[in-house]
A and B are shown apart, each in its own frame.
Chain A
C-alpha cells in the first residue's frame, strides 16, 4: 500500500518537538516498512527552500539545545528513498521558484498532481 502524506500546516510543532511532526511520523513509519511519498503544500512549501536549522529558543535561562533542522529532515526522507514534491503554483504565489528548492525535491504541476494522486492507495492530508 502506498500513501501520500500531504504536509500543509507549516511550522507546527517545530519548537516543541524540534521537528515537523508529520515529517517525523513519515520517517518513523518508513522505518517500519511504510511506502510513503510526501507533498509539501501551502506554507509548507517553504520547507523545500530552507537552508538552515531554526534559531534556538530562549526562555529566561533555558536555552534550546537542538532546534528543528528541516533541511536535515528533508535529507533523511530523501535518503530513505521517500520522494518529496511541491507544486509549482504554490511556489510561484509565494515568490519562490524551482531554482530555490533543496536538492532532490521535485516541482510538479497540477496535471502531475492528478497522476500522483492516482498512484496512491491513500491520501493523508495533515
Chain B
C-alpha cells in the first residue's frame, strides 16, 4: 500500500467540544491506514500537548484519581506517537508558537515542537491532502 502523507490543522482546545475527540479519532484511523501524519496545532489546539495537564479524581463518580483515569489530550498524543512508531510511519506535531505563548502552555510533551504558519505551509506542500478543522 502506498504511504500517503496527510496534514491536519486543528484549532480547538482540549476539553470543550466534540470536535477534539473526533479529530483524534481521525488521526488514529489515518495511522491505521498507514498514513504519515503532520499536525499543525493552532490557537486553542496549542494546549493539546501541554505536559502539565493533570488527571483528577471525581467525587461525583465516587472514583479517586487512579480509578477515574481521566482522559488527557497529551496522553492521546503520546499514544498516537507510540502507535506511529510501532507501525513504522511518521507523526509530526507542531504547535503554533505565538498561540502557545499567549496561553502559557510552552511545556509540551516530547516530540511536539514549536513552530509557525510556515510549518503548516511546508507540511501542506509535502502532503497528499490537508484537512483543516476550525473552531465553530
Whether A126 lies near B117 (C-beta < 8 A) is no
Contacting chain B: which of A24-32, A47-55, A101-109? A24-32
Whether B121 lies near A33 (C-beta < 8 A) is yes
Which A residues lie within 8 Å of B82 (CB)?
A: none
Contact residues on B (Cβ < 8 Å of other chain), bracket: 10 to 19
Whether A122 lies near B124 (C-beta < 8 A) is yes
Interface membership of A75, Cβ < 8 A: no
Interface of chain A, helix or strand or loop or mixed?
Answer: mixed
Interface membership of A62, Cβ < 8 A: no
Interface membership of B118, Cβ < 8 A: yes
Interface membership of B134, Cβ < 8 A: yes
Within 8 A of B (CB), among A111-126: 122, 124-126
Interface membership of A12, Cβ < 8 A: yes
Within 8 A of A (CB), among B72-86: none
Within 8 A of B (CB), among A51-82: none
Whether B134 lies near A1 (C-beta < 8 A) is no
Whether A25 lies near B125 (C-beta < 8 A) is no
Within 8 A of A (CB), among B93-133: 116-118, 120-122, 124-125, 129-130, 132
Whether B43 lies near A28 (C-beta < 8 A) is no
* Least CB separation from B136: chain A residue: A9
The listed residue with most A CB atoms (<10 A of its CB), out of B122, B125, B132, B135, is B132
CA distance A47 to B22 in the complex (A): 30
Q: What per-residue 1/0 map shows which CB atoms of B31-47 lie under 8 Å from chain A?
A: 00000000000110000
* Least CB separation from A21: chain B residue: B43
Whether A1 lies near B124 (C-beta < 8 A) is yes
CA distance A34 to B42 in the complex (A): 17
Binding site for A on B (CB under 8 A): 9, 11, 42-43, 116-118, 120-122, 124-125, 129-130, 132, 134-136
Binding site for B on A (CB under 8 A): 1, 3, 8-9, 12-13, 17, 21-22, 25, 28-29, 31-34, 122, 124-126
